[in-house]
């Protein structure tokens, strides 16, 4: 599991090596998850205007929220143009909308491998926003692209999206996460809470606010938000990992083991599942040592 810190180049965690880190280190991977949530957009209908030359079918499908079609068209396009970073970026967004985060990261990381690729994506998103100047979805997409280069412009794009649609929780998540990375924690908390107020089932807002609280060592608040996250999405493996780690740190062993067992159920053959098994073993070993040390 790769360990991440705040970066101007957003992405999701990626499995990169087989050795497991201590729980306090592994949990750091979750901090970057907030960046991927910046790419969330509104699922309301979007009128299709004149598409960009060469990406007509892909763009049309995306603007009509046909995520499977976006992926299908993108895969076909990549067969002939494997280095087309814009196609990969749009596909990554479609995967995100479907909740397929591992595939999202795969395409996202390939799209943002170098500075030129980032520039191309930003330029494409700028053109899209020019053709859809009053469309909140285009502005959210632009904000997501700007996140890799210019936090100020990212904030401007999200603010414009909020002005167009004040009830769009995803734009507030984008604002909150961008403010957090800028070191403005109070603003970040305010906008995460605004997103939750608008959409009480917004997984992104709950999970990322939990990460923020954990980062500033307000652990009880973080636990409450992780618990709410898995209540909303019982299959959100990463929330179980972070929650299990915090339970373990608080020495709530039974809760930690139960939470890790859920990770194993969700990812029985993956790195997170293997990590959870190791975490359970560590808890049991410490429990056995505690029993041996008792007089």
* pLDDT confidence tier of residue 53, bands split at 50, 70 and 90: low
pLDDT in tens, 208-236: 999 999 999 999 999 999 999 999 999 99
Give yes or no for residue 16 having a pLDDT over 80.
no
Which has more pLDDT, 280 or 147?
A: 280
Q: If you average pLDDT over every residue of the chain, what do you get?
A: 80
pLDDT at 66: 82
201: CB partners within 8 A, 6+ apart = 232
Give yes or no for residue 39 having a pLDDT over 90.
no
Which has more pLDDT, 170 or 279?
A: 279
pLDDT in tens, 280-294: 999 988 765 554 454
Kindly report which listed range (97-101, 144-148, 214-218) carries the lowest average pLDDT score.
Answer: 97-101
Q: Is 252 exposed, middle or buried (0-12, 13-18, 19+ CB in 10 A)?
A: middle
pLDDT at 26: 45
pLDDT at 101: 67
pLDDT at 137: 80
Closest CA to 174 of 127, 230, 132, 136: 136
Which has more pLDDT, 290 or 239?
A: 239
Q: Is 37 exposed, middle or buried (0-12, 13-18, 19+ CB in 10 A)?
A: buried
Q: Which two tokens stand for residue 232?
A: 């909303």
pLDDT at 208: 92
Q: Is 58 exposed, middle or buried (0-12, 13-18, 19+ CB in 10 A)?
A: buried
**Pairwise CA distance, residues 233 & 101, whole Å:** 14
**Pairwise CA distance, residues 179 & 238, whole Å:** 23
Which has more pLDDT, 174 or 45?
A: 174
pTM of the model: 0.76
What's the mean pLDDT in 175-202? 94
pLDDT at 185: 96
Please say whether the beta carbons of 31 and 211 come within 8 A.
Answer: yes
Q: Of the segments 15-19, 31-35, 134-138, 208-212, which one has the largest average pLDDT value?
A: 208-212
pLDDT in tens, 188-200: 999 999 999 999 9
pLDDT at 287: 65
């Amino acid at each position: 599991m790769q360990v991440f810190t705040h970066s101007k180049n957003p992405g999701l965690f990626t499995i990169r090596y087989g050795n497991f880190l201590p729980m306090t280190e592994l949990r750091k991977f979750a901090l970057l998850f907030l960046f991927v949530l910046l790419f969330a957009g509104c699922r309301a209908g979007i009128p299709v205007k004149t598409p960009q030359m060469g990406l007509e079918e892909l763009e049309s499908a995306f603007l009509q929220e046909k995520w499977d079609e976006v992926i299908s068209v993108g895969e076909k396009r990549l067969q002939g143009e494997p280095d087309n970073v814009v196609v990969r970026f749009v596909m990554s967004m479609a995967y995100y909308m479907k909740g397929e985060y591992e595939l999202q990261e795969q395409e996202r990381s390939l799209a943002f491998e170098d500075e030129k690729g980032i520039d191309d994506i930003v330029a494409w998103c700028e053109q899209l926003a020019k053709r859809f100047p009053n469309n909140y979805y285009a502005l959210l997409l632009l904000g997501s692209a700007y996140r890799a280069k210019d936090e100020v412009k990212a904030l401007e794009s999200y603010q414009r999206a909020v002005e167009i649609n004040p009830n769009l929780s995803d734009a507030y998540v984008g604002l909150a996460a961008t403010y957090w990375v800028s070191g403005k924690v109070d603003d970040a908390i305010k906008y995460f809470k605004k997103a939750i107020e608008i959409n009480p089932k917004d997984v992104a807002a709950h999970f990322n606010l939990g990460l923020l609280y954990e980062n500033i060592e307000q652990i009880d608040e973080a636990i409450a938000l992780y618990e709410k996250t898995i209540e909303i999405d019982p299959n959100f493996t990463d929330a179980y990992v972070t929650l299990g780690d915090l339970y373990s740190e608080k020495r709530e062993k039974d809760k930690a083991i139960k939470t890790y067992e859920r990770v194993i159920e969700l990812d029985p053959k993956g790195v997170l599942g293997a990590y959870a098994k190791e975490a359970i073993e560590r808890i049991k070993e410490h429990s056995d040592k505690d029993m041996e040390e008792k007089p």
